[in-house]
Amino acid sequence: MRLKLFLWGDVTVFLVVCSLAFGQFSNTDLEDPLGSYQKASTRPKTETKALEGVIDPAAYLLGPGDKLEFGVWGSIELTFELYISPDGTVSIPGIGRIYVADISVADAEKLIIRESPKRYYGSKISLKLLEIRSMKTSISGVIEMPGMYELTSIDRLSTLIFFAGGFPEPEAEEAVSGLLPGESPEKRKAAVSELQLLDDVEKGPSMRRIQITRKSGEILNVDYLRYCNTGDLKYNPILRDGDQIHIPLKEMDVGVLHIFGAVKTPGEYEYLEMDKFRDIVEIAGGFRANALLSDVLIVRYDGDGTSEIRFDLTGNNEQNPFLKEGDRIFVREIADYHEKYYIEIKGEVKYPGVYPIEDNLTTLTEIIEACGGFNETADISKASVARKRLAEIEDPEYKRLLNIPRSEMSDMEYEYFKLKSREEYPNVIVDFEELFNENDRLQDIVLRDRDVIEVPTLSQTVNIAGMVRDPGLVKFKPSENYSYYIENAGGLTWRADRSRMQLIKASGVRVELKKRTEIEIGDTIFIPEKKEINWWEYTKDVLLVVSQIATIIVVIRTL
């Protein structure tokens, strides 16, 4: 029995090989009986193309030019590389020609399996796609470079639009306006002609009405804008050999509707027949998180005026009314939706950082308590609260002074300009010592969004600035007057103006500097520079006064 089976298997293999070699025996290599077929089927390999992903055998439709691998596994093992011929058939060794165009790889495999048992009894059959074919499609209408293009059989509409240069932007008007009065009539005429040709382009492409005409005569209407705004590949179809794509003009005066409010891209959109409310919301990018879905409004123009349609989209409500041309959709925002209010505290507190607040409700003492209180090194006498929100309010006077030369400013304008230039954020007037040492609740201000609280380190020095030999910080010594600090800073320079010396308190207040003026930690002693004297102008003024006095004396004597 085993001998019979063995002989039957050998006979089967022998018959298959003989059937493949029959008719071309004289050119066949006995050691490789299928070599001549494989050589005849081989074509120059094409350049590898980038794919958008794994090709689905159940979705990819075969066509002339596709390269396949036909495999036989089991009692015999053979593989062949096959090309689909221009008539849509593929020639399979031992089976013959089978028409596989316009069917999927998976369906073609099933078809071949049905035809194979006679030749490959007891073996398994597989069919794989090795290389995809090239094809030609055309594009016309409002596109930068209309014409015929060669694509692959997996390319989509977006690929063709990219190759065709995308949608055009009107530039002809600029070309005409750029011509000089002396330009030749021919050049001007050509530019004006170009402008006229692009009048339609100014209307823009109709991205919701793109037409694809198949070789069979079937027409597909593609809402390409929906693909651009949502990424849904359903609106970016795979093209077929011989497709004709046309980009029509957008209708500007009719065929539009508007959506306003809490959607991601509000604005004007083309209207298509059978458009529904949720279609336009999807094209507009969907609802924002702060959309008030309980009261959506559609305003519609009727023959007798306008009408309103209101509906509630909360919960499981699936209301999705049909729209009409000219409809205006309003999606309002939820007031103060998830507003995030915070302040920042810096410096000498236990836990500096950012803290959430209730705008205009949280107090200064509450925040100091939340951040663990002041450190021992904190100088609360110099602590401050800066209000960023006020800084965002435009100061028209400061903006005006920015554009005026110093020579044209009055003294008062210049002082204001200097003050505003040095000011990073306006400070809120609050006395930390009165609040935290004396418990004066009148100083307990309420905080606003993005306030900045700064608590500096307690300093043990006095700052000496201006016309001294070694300006800088001098260690504070109680009961000493300003002379002590000036001497420790190297003394005054010859350009120091003693008459205008000032003490700038840590709070920013300026006081006249006298021997009895009390110096405190953190104060600044400022010694200004003497004003330069223009001796020529001074001499002229003296001579002028002297001459005037002399003239008066002469007049008196002559009387």
Task: Convert the pLDDT of each residue in 281-314 to its tens digit.
Answer: 999 999 988 899 988 999 998 777 788 999 888 8
pLDDT greater than 70 at residue 183: no
- State how far Cα 82 lies from the chain centre: 48
Q: How confident is the model at residue 519 (pLDDT cuts 50, 70, 90)?
A: confident
Cα–Cα distance for residue pair 213/247, rounded to 1 Å? 12
Name the residue among 130, 22, 24 with its Cα closest to residue 82.
Answer: 130
Residue 422, pLDDT score: 59
Q: Are 155 and 239 in contact (CB under 8 A)?
A: yes
pLDDT greater than 70 at residue 2: no
Residue 461, pLDDT score: 86
Cα–Cα distance for residue pair 366/364, rounded to 1 Å? 5
Which tens digit of pLDDT belongs to each residue from 80-94? 899 999 999 999 887
Q: Are 245 and 257 in contact (CB under 8 A)?
A: no
Cα–Cα distance for residue pair 67/61, rounded to 1 Å? 13
Q: What is the pTM of this model?
A: 0.52
Helix ranges, 437-521 (H): 482-488
Cα–Cα distance for residue pair 509/272, rounded to 1 Å? 70
Residue 214, pLDDT score: 92
What mean pLDDT is reported for the chain? Answer: 80
Residue 49, pLDDT score: 57
- Can you read off the two tokens belonging to residue 397? 């006077």
Which tens digit of pLDDT belongs to each residue from 100-122? 998 899 999 998 888 877 677 77
Selected residue with higher pLDDT from 323 and 113 = 323
Residue 264, pLDDT score: 92
Cα–Cα distance for residue pair 185/188, rounded to 1 Å? 5
Residue type, 130: L
Q: Are 298 and 277 in contact (CB under 8 A)?
A: yes
Cα–Cα distance for residue pair 271/273, rounded to 1 Å? 7
Cα–Cα distance for residue pair 172/198, rounded to 1 Å? 7
What structural domains does the chain harbor?
A: 2-132 (3.30.1950.10), 136-247 (3.10.560.10), 259-331 (3.10.560.10), 342-455 (3.10.560), 459-559 (3.10.560.10)
The set of residues, in sequence order, having a beta carbon less than 8 Å from that of 316 and lying 6+ positions away, is: none
Q: Are 208 and 142 in contact (CB under 8 A)?
A: no
CA distances from 242 to 89, 100, 139 (A): 19, 18, 11
Mean pLDDT of the region 521-525: 85
Cα–Cα distance for residue pair 544/469, rounded to 1 Å? 39
